[in-house]
Chains A and B, each alone.
Chain A
Amino acid sequence: MRHTLSVLVENQPGVLTRVAGLFARRGYNIESLAVGQTHDPSVSCMTIVAGGDDLVIEQVVNQLDKLIDVIEIRDITQVKYVDRELMLLKVKAEASMRGEIMQIVDIFRARIVDIGQETLTIECTGDAGKAQAIEKSLKPFGILELARTGKIAMVRGPKYGDV
């Protein structure tokens, strides 16, 4: 099963290497990892999506928790959370196709952020399902480039742990 881990870490050089290295060394696979500073500049938040059975994930969590630079780790897979991912797509778009593409962009509430001679660059924010859906819809036009941030997540309701 796919698990979503929300990890608070010290915002310091080398921390990402420690976390990623631990995954590699213990043979756990990272599907995506997004990291950025939080409202406390000394703390970064990592959202890690990892695949593996429950026992494996439990080991991952336990091992990560032991890293001194990991302040807090939670497996939020079973909790209600909001998640978002940002995706940029460059699509082949000759003049005759642009209308159709723009319609799709509208439906997904995505945005066009750059127009080239024969291309459109589209920004789309959403959960994993939406990212997949827009990719699928745009595929017939020819996707030239695609970049995604990996998902970030936040538990719904009051501050997690305060309830």
Chain B
Amino acid sequence: MKLTGAEIIIKAFEHEGVDIVFGYPGGQILPFYDKLFDSSIRHILVRHEQGAAHAAEGYARATGKPGVCIATSGPGATNLVTGIANAYMDSIPIIALTGQVPTTKIGSDAFQEADITGITLPIVKHSYLVRDVNTLAGIVRSAFHIATTGRPGPVLIDLPNDVSTATAEFEYPPPVALRGYQARREIDPNLIYQAAKAIGEAKKPVIYSGGGVISSGASEELRELAERAQIPVTTTLLGKGAFPETHPLSLGMLGMHGTKYANYAISYSDLIIAIGARFDDRITGRLDTFAPHAKVIHIDVDPAEIGKNVRVHHPLNGDVRAVLKELLLRLEAPEDQEWLKQVMAWKAENPLTYAWVDGVIKPQYVIEQIWDLTRGNGIVTTEVGQNQMWAAQYYKTLAPRTFISSGGLGTMGFGLPAAIGAQAGCPDKLVFDIAGDGSIQMNSQELATAVAYNLPVKVAILNNGYLGMVRQWQELMWNRRYSQTDLNVGTPDFVKLAEAYGALGLRATRPEEVRPALEQAIATPKPVVIDFVVAREENVFPFVPPGQPLTKMVGG
């Protein structure tokens, strides 16, 4: 049977199990939208294409399935760019479908033409500009394969208008063999043996786990490794949820705003077992002073990450879960318990704390209350800045795919659309976006989307009237010169903003109002915005100033 390019895309999406897509129409993508009208795929109309890309990512991170976002050519496509970059930095599988001017017009600066494959070249795992409708089905198949396997990432399909109306025989092709793509690699048993031996011989081991544990579904294996060998576990921002943070062996997050005990443990360890993590500068602090006594086992699916930033003694390149399974078969547990005692003592002596001030809402308190009311059973997304770091510190994540934050790119405006995507993918979950007053204004238009589809996300704004994280840097490193970080003038009344969109708006200005507001929000079956008016100049501590060793923590 002959189908148009637009129909082929829809059929291919169905074959790939796509049930929801996030997008925004326009002229060049119209042939697709016309066919979508008759399809059973649910389309969520966002209010800005950036929202579509972040929502697709939120969906992917919450469900483990690839997220799909769609935009028209030109400005539609360029509006996706931040979201694509975000997914690239955090290795999240999304498919971005963009309309394009007809092949005959490409290169002529036609109306709404943008070279989106060129623009996104450095921020995609792969991209396709479809020139021939006969290749389309194969391209969609490859796109999903590439996005979801190996180190996941975004794949862009740019679909010229004439290709979407041209017809071709449709048959969904068998899995495509891509000769330049190897998603999985054989693991050398000898390397596994060596690593297992190193663990057995270690006196001061620590596990440092990242987003790779979550994307490969290896939380069970990670837990078994930690428990059998009695090794403490610290995670990155993206690794939150890989290991339950209420577990006695959990050290919470490490790095710039990590716990003191996690930073001490990694700094004084003699063996770092890095699992699906990439030694980012927010983790290592000053590189040449990072964990000076440690040998490193690095388990990662991406061979290019191994040895990129730190010297690795035991490279284990492969799917994290597969490698951990092998490792567990040969695991030798270290006998020495002294180290664990030391780490536990650090943990007991240096809890995360903040000073209570009567009558003032401390932002940390809001997060604690959210945790207390949800017991870690919901999904939390975050915006970027202090709000994000407090969420990371005080919201104890228990399970994978329940903490969704913009890590590598640090994109303000990520949290709300990501929450919408997560809620669309997990309708039965309670989804909170922990927000800042600055970040929420970057994509607040998506409140309309949440209301329109009754995606009952709860937006908890920690309203400090500042671009707080930048103000914190100005306070601590730039002599309190608060250049362009005060938001007080011009910030909308968030309660009225919520109401304008048809959501519920609540406000809390005193500590005793925090819990009732949260309870009301949770009990309300529609989108809610809560404006928590918090201490204005609270800082996130501990803090390792950029370029400093991890042991040089300030505050907390």
- Chain A residues numbered 16-66 whose CB sits less than 8 Å from any CB in chain B: 17-18, 21-22, 25, 55, 58-59, 62-63, 65-66
Chain A residue numbers with a CB within 8 Å of B125 are 68
| Docked CA distance A9–B181 (Å) | 11
Q: Are A71 and B122 in contact (CB under 8 A)?
A: no
Q: Which residues of A contact B307 (CB under 8 A)?
A: 55, 58
User: Is A10 an interface position by the 8 A CB rule?
Assistant: yes
Q: Which residues of A contact B118 (CB under 8 A)?
A: 17
- B121 in the interface, Cβ–Cβ < 8 Å? yes
Question: Chain A residues near B180 (CB, 8 Å)?
Answer: 9-10, 67-72
Asked whether B433 is an interface residue with its Cβ less than 8 Å from the other chain, the reply is no
- A158 an interface residue at 8 Å Cβ cutoff? no
Q: Count B-side interface residues using an 8 Å CB cutoff.
A: 17
A71, B182: Cα distance in complex, Å:
10
Q: Say if the beta carbon of A14 comes within 8 Å of chain B.
A: yes
Complex contacts, A72 vs chain B, CB 8 Å: 180
For residue B178, give the distance in angstroms from its CB to the closest CB of chain A. 6
The reply to whether A17 and B304 form a contact with Cβ atoms under 8 Å apart is no
Decide if A65 touches B126 in the complex (CB within 8 Å): no
Chain A residue at minimum C-beta to C-beta distance from B179: A71
Distance (Å) between the CB of B148 and the closest chain A CB? Answer: 14
Residue in chain A with minimal CB distance to B122? A25
Give chain A residues whose Cβ lies under 8 Å from the Cβ of B443.
Answer: none
One of A55, A63, A69 near B304 (C-beta < 8 A): A63
B304→A21 contact, CB < 8 A: no
- The interface residues of chain A lying within 8 Å CB-to-CB of B303 are 62, 65
| A68 and B308 form a contact (CB under 8 A) | no
- Beyond A21-B121, A65-B303, is A59–B126 a contact (Cβ under 8 Å)? no
Q: Which residues of chain B from 88 to 147 have any CB-CB distance to chain A below 8 Å in the complex?
A: 117-118, 121-122, 125-126, 129, 146
Asked if residues A21 and B126 are in contact (CB atoms below 8 Å), the reply is no
Question: Given the complex of chains A and B, what is the CA–CA distance between A66 and B152 in angstroms?
Answer: 12
Distance between A64 CB and nearest chain B CB, rounded to angstroms: 9
A residues less than 8 Å from B270 (CB atoms): none
| Residues on the A chain within 8 Å of B129, using CB | 13-14
B302 interface hit (Cβ, 8 Å):
yes
Indicate whether A68 sits within 8 Å of B121 (C-beta atoms), given known contacts A55-B307, A58-B307, A59-B308.
Answer: no
State how many angstroms separate the Cβ of B254 from the closest Cβ of chain A: 24
Q: Is B302's CB under 8 angstroms from A66's CB?
A: yes
Contacts of B126 in A (CB 8 A): 67-68
Q: Measured between alpha carbons, how far is A10 from B180 in the docked complex, in Å?
A: 8
Taking the closest CB of chain B, its distance from the CB of A17, in whole angstroms, is: 7
Q: Which residues of A contact B304 (CB under 8 A)?
A: 59, 62-63, 65-66
B115 nearest CB across to chain A (Å): 10
Proximity string of chain B (283-317) to chain A, C-beta cutoff 8 Å, 1 when within and 0 when not: 00000000000000000001110011000000000
CB distance from A40 to the nearest CB of B (A): 11
CA distance A9 to B118 in the complex (A): 18
Q: Which residues of B contact A17 (CB under 8 A)?
A: 118, 121
Q: With a CB–CB cut-off of 8 A, which chain A residues contact B121?
A: 17-18, 21
Complex contacts, B117 vs chain A, CB 8 Å: 14
Bound-state CA distance A68–B179 (Å) is: 8
Cα-based distance from A153 to B181 in the complex (angstroms): 24
Measured between alpha carbons, how far is A82 from B121 in the docked complex, in Å?
34
From B118, which residue of chain A is reached at the shortest CB distance?
Answer: A17
CA distance A14 to B126 in the complex (A): 11
Complex: A25 Cα to B85 Cα, angstroms: 14
**Cβ of A10 to closest chain B Cβ, rounded Å:** 6
Closest B-chain residue to A70, C-beta based? B180
Residues of A participating in the B interface, judged by any CB pair closer than 8 Å:
9-10, 13-14, 17-18, 21-22, 25, 55, 58-59, 62-63, 65-72
- Nearest 5 CB-CB pairs, A to B? A62-B304, A71-B180, A68-B126, A68-B181, A25-B122
Contacts from B to A (Cβ < 8 Å): 117-118, 121-122, 125-126, 129, 146, 178-181, 302-304, 307-308
Q: Would you mind naming 16 contact pairs between A and B with Cβ atoms under 8 Å apart? A: A9-B180, A10-B180, A13-B129, A14-B129, A17-B121, A18-B121, A21-B121, A25-B122, A55-B307, A59-B308, A62-B303, A63-B304, A65-B303, A68-B126, A68-B181, A71-B180
Q: A65-B304, A68-B125, A68-B178 given; name 15 further pairs at CB < 8 Å.
A: A9-B180, A10-B180, A14-B129, A22-B122, A58-B307, A62-B303, A62-B304, A65-B303, A66-B302, A66-B304, A67-B126, A67-B180, A68-B146, A68-B181, A71-B180
